[in-house]
Every structure is written in C-alpha cells, then in structure tokens.
Amino acid sequence: MTSTETTEDAPRYVKLKIELIAEITDEGALKAAALKQVAEDEYLDDEERAQSVEAIEVDPSGSLAHFIDPVALLGEVPGIELASATWESAQTEFDPESEEWDEYTVDASDE
C-alpha cells in the first residue's frame, strides 16, 4: 500500500486548540445580546435554555460562550467536515504588560 492510498482510504482527524483572550468592554451589552441569542435559539429545549440564562446571569464569561460557532470557523473550508466541537469560557487573569502574555497580544495596527 502506498502513502497515497493510505491518505485516500483513511479519514484524517485533526485536533485544533485555539485560545483566545477577550476583554469585556460592555458587560451589559454582552449580557443583553447573549440573552437575546438564547431566547431566539430554536435548538435549545426549555431546560437547556434555563441553564444558559443562569450561566449568563452568574458570569459574563458565560455570555460570551453563546457566540462561539465552530461551524462558522470551518464551514467554508473545502474538504473538511466538523466531526466534534467543545469549548468553554472562563474568567482569567490577564496583564497585557506582562511578558507571559506576549504570544497572545494582537496589535490591531499589524492587520
């Protein structure tokens, strides 16, 4: 069996790990938008909807999780089908001046 045959015959799975740090600049706007999204989500049953609302009320990072869409991230990539996705959001300590976080810093002027 050649490497070409192996590539064509066997499915290939790739695990992507992406870490983003987002600054919440308007907690009220984020919360309102997340609550609206949950209210309009036709795929949530009543129990899931109640859990989502509770998460949004307790922690602003819970609001952000409702805007993560892995399908949108990979949906337009040819030859890819999303097999599974999990994600979470949690508050973190972040000091943009610390060298520890240099790899995470995005300079808008570079874009």
Query: Over the stretch 31-53, which tens digit does the pLDDT of each residue have?
Result: 999 999 999 999 999 999 999 99
Distance, CA of 105 to CA of 111 (rounded, Å): 12
Q: Which residue has the higher pLDDT, 107 or 88?
A: 88
pLDDT of residue 85: 86
Q: Which residue has the higher pLDDT, 95 or 83?
A: 83
Query: b/e per residue, 36-57, with b = 16+ CB within 10 A?
Result: eebeeeeebeeeeeeebbebbe
Is 111 a residue whose pLDDT tops 50?
no
* pLDDT, averaged across the chain: 81
